[in-house]
């Protein structure tokens, strides 16, 4: 068989870019999907192909998928990585902000899956890896929209595993903790009213926001995520979901062991909220 063909969304930076670079050093042809493919043109790895992809636009997705299929006649692995985090209280969030968060983090995943699944079904093979978050199992204040979008990604993963099993398509989820990427600088969007000094939520903002940003900026190396993706690809018996990073490995097992109330108390104590 030819080399496996991989499509990664949100591959212009962070985990997506690192994963694209990492996989392209192995026996894969990697299409690095990003809204700004010109940013990757300086990379001179033969197996890495930057390609324009806007996951909010169904016709753009179709054009991208058609291009890949025309060139390779197969798509073997889809890595749904694109996403961002909105930092806002529910009281302050606008309708537009709510929609935008889900449009990328949830509907974007569904749109790309919808476009790729028919190809994988006809091949009778494929792997879909959804990059979720440990916050897809754990709630935190100020991140309600991001949390709920990642909870939705976990639900998509669970349901697709049933839906696609008969077509030999594996679906897995990776739940990273906080990683040292440009996420805090480029992929966190804040609500102005929530961060206003006169906001009724100013206490929780001042206690929590700096800690979260610091934990992201001093988080694990993104290579851990790329290596985990390779493990999932190579092991057809890999479990449905896996955590990566210190915070994920700390909080997810704790959540399973404790009652909801005890877990909430631990989180309040940890983050002083």
pLDDT at 247: 81
Question: What mean pLDDT comes out for the span 112-119?
Answer: 98
**Structure-block tokens of residue 91:** 């009281």
Query: What are the residue numbers of the active site?
Result: 146, 150
Superfamily of domain 4-271: NAD(P)-binding Rossmann-like Domain (3.40.50.720)
pLDDT at 68: 98
pLDDT tens, position by position, 48-100: 999 999 999 999 999 999 999 999 999 999 999 999 999 999 999 999 999 99
Q: Name the band, by pLDDT with cuts 50, 70 and 90, for residue 165.
A: very high
- Of the chain, the percentage scoring pLDDT greater than 70 comes to 96
- The pTM assigned to this predicted structure is 0.93
Angle of helix 95-102 versus helix 144-164 axis, rounded to 10: 30
- List the one residue out of 30, 114, 35 whose CA is nearest residue 72: 30
- List the one residue out of 88, 36, 40, 35 whose CA is nearest residue 60: 35
Query: What radius of gyration, in Å, describes the C-alpha atoms of the chain?
Result: 19
pLDDT at 186: 58
Judge whether residue 155 has pLDDT over 70: yes
C-alpha to C-alpha distance for 240 and 54, rounded to whole angstroms: 27
Judge whether residue 226 has pLDDT over 70: yes
Q: What residue ranges do the domains of the chain occupy?
A: 4-271
Distances in whole angstroms, Cα of residue 179 to Cα of each of 14, 90, 143, 161, 186: 9, 25, 17, 27, 13
Contact between 177 and 246 (Cβ < 8 Å): yes
- Of the chain, the end-to-end C-alpha distance in Å amounts to 54
Judge whether residue 184 has pLDDT over 50: no
- List the one residue out of 101, 89, 107 whose CA is nearest residue 143: 89
Judge whether residue 24 has pLDDT over 50: yes
Q: Name the band, by pLDDT with cuts 50, 70 and 90, for residue 182.
A: low
Question: What mean pLDDT comes out for the span 227-241?
Answer: 96
Question: What mean pLDDT comes out for the span 186-194?
Answer: 84
């Amino acid at each position: 068989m030819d080399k496996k063909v991989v499509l990664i969304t949100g591959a212009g930076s962070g985990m997506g870019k690192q994963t694209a670079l990492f996989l392209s050093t192995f026996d894969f042809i990697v299409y690095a999907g990003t809204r700004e493919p010109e940013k990757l043109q300086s990379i001179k790895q033969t197996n890495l192909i930057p390609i324009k992809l806007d996951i909010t636009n169904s016709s753009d997705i179709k054009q991208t998928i058609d291009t890949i299929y025309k060139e390779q006649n197969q798509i073997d692995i889809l890595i749904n990585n694109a996403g961002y985090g909105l930092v806002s209280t529910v009281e302050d969030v606008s309708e537009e902000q709510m929609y935008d968060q889900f449009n990328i983090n949830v509907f974007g995943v569904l749109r790309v899956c919808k476009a790729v699944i028919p190809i994988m079904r006809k091949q009778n093979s494929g792997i879909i890896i959804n990059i979720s978050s440990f916050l897809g199992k754990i709630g935190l204040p100020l991140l309600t929209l991001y949390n709920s979008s990642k909870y939705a990604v976990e639900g998509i993963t669970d349901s697709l595993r049933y839906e696609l099993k008969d077509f030999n398509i594996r679906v897995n989820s990776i739940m990273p903790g906080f990683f040292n990427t440009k996420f805090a600088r480029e992929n966190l969007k804040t609500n102005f009213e929530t961060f206003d000094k006169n906001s009724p939520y100013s206490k929780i903002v001042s206690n929590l926001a700096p800690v979260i940003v610091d934990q992201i900026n001093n988080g694990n190396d993104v290579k851990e995520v790329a290596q985990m993706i390779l493990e999932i690809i190579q092991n057809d018996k890999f479990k449905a979901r896996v955590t990566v990073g210190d915070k994920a490995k700390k909080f997810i097992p704790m959540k399973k062991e404790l009652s909801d109330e005890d877990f909430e108390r631990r989180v309040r104590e940890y983050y002083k909220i």
